[in-house]
Chains A and B, each alone.
Chain A
């Protein structure tokens, strides 16, 4: 069975990388393939890379309040490109009150800053199965 492929990125102008670095490391340790796109990406760049790299999951780190616009935009663009099968998870400085809106927009799960990486790994393994055509 092939490894899960995860694209990790941070959208917009922000240098707070620690969360994304730590989560990427944990996912790799858990046996996933992580493509680290890094900082200051646009929604378009993320979607483009995700499609090209044929990932199962996009992980977005949002530390400067961009989540409420960037994530819905990301979900829309994925749909427009016919890439809805890619699951999106997000983490960072995201208030509890915003989580409902994000999940309604299609984000599978939001992990506020401080969430233990083991929980993120467990969620991915339990809740985001590999799609049949990737086995």
Chain B
């Protein structure tokens, strides 16, 4: 530690909330226990969604995974499950699947645009057989599958349902969630395949299909996570998450759906960063805010509509490529914040995340980290142990205030005073992209000026010697995938495919829900790119949104 006394202005959280020297009773005297906190499992759920929380069931251990091919990913999944990872509350299998870039962008593995990227950062899925191979042996009804899909959620869900049926699972038995968050795809992932309004239509089609046919599935997972590495701080991340959640509820209501019918199936996906106090408070504020929003803004009557059910992933932009093993410590501390914040599921990206796709060994360390938190620390034995802390309750309040400011700002950005209108406006005119980018620039400036310390990066640096052992994708795996796709196209019924594509085009042009036809198309062996091609043709290309 350097021996310099810190200036007053240095005592603030990463999102810029000033931290007092010490918090005391005065900071919490305005808090009403039953109004503002409530018992766990009671409105407004600040202290936890359920009365007993981890005393009944631990959080899900869900490490994001996916690489190379369906076979490789399925093999790795089974190995991690053997090591105690990838489990839900009851010990049944649970997983979070990542897809490769061509799949996220709606291209098949043989498209020239997919060159060098097949299987690189996730599983390649070209058609329903890929999905079937991926899920073979996985209990799709008892387990939990979370699919992190960017550009083509409707198509991948259709393939998942088609594969499920072939494996003997009816759609109404499928348990899991799919991201299906067009604003996040646009603004954080920067994967913009269709105009935003077309994406919203497809998003709502998925929601409606989920409501009618898949009662165990969460058809929308509002995903704030990626905004954080993209530049936003925790307050902005929660702000846009809630804004987006509200927008989807508004969109669903516009379609005539009843709030209490669909809201229970909306789930969330957030980061947990290294600023411990801020991150714990962020999760508590999120729960309270969502409950209040659902009850007061939307008049929800069903308590299940008010639950901010969240999957937390430790924040990879806090990790360093330098001295990567220390990311193990970061993951543990961030994971701890997630647990003390009351998450329903947790993923700790392994230490080599800043370098490559994880190895089985690095994934295992992350799994063991979760197991230590769950079974050694004692934190699971009592609910919301930080509740009542003067500092934490004060920060929870402050975060709620600041996030409310963010929501008001977005509400004012559109013509109609809704969050949906504001988000569309801010997406189309580039406002959000600009704000996110500016936040990224500021964050980098703070690191380079030394205002923010990043151990190993701008302080306590060493000259790098060697990489840790890294996962390398065998090119043979890619060659086999492309070969397989060639044969797939050769062996399928070309007439059936043509007809399915025609029907998909017709339904897309209509105002009918595309999902039933899309699922039939998947069963008729239409590929991802062919389905996406229909959407591209019908809905047009998005405006290219790049700043600079």
Interface residues in chain A, defined as those with a beta carbon under 8 Å from any beta carbon in chain B = 12-18, 21-22, 24-26, 34, 36, 38-39, 42, 64-66, 68-70, 93, 95-97, 112-114, 116-118
Contacts and interface: CB of A to CB of B under 8 A. Distances in A.
B548 A36 contact: yes
A contact face: mostly helix, strand, loop, or mixed: mixed
A113 B321 contact: yes
A65 B114 CA distance: 12
Nearest to B190: A15
Interface in B189-215: 189-191
Contacts of B458: 116
16 contacts: A12-B113, A12-B115, A17-B437, A21-B437, A21-B440, A34-B548, A38-B548, A39-B190, A66-B117, A93-B356, A96-B464, A112-B321, A113-B321, A114-B322, A116-B448, A116-B457
A101 B410 CA distance: 47
Bin the interface of chain B by size: 35 or more
B101 A18 contact: no
B356 A95 contact: yes
A1 B21 CA distance: 52
Interface in B423-481: 437, 440-441, 444, 447-448, 454, 457-458, 464, 466-467, 470, 473
Contact of B548 (A24, A68, A117): A24
A34 B447 CA distance: 22
The 4 A-B residue pairs with the shortest CB-CB distance, nearest first, are: A15-B190, A36-B548, A13-B101, A38-B546
Contacts of A39: 190, 546
Contacts of B464: 96
A112 B121 CA distance: 18
A114 B101 contact: no
Contacts of A15: 150, 189-191
Interface in B106-152: 107, 113-117, 120-121, 150
A118 B466 contact: no
B101 A14 contact: yes
A68 to B, nearest CB: 8
B229 interface: yes
A96 B463 CA distance: 12
Contact of A17 (B190, B322, B473): B190
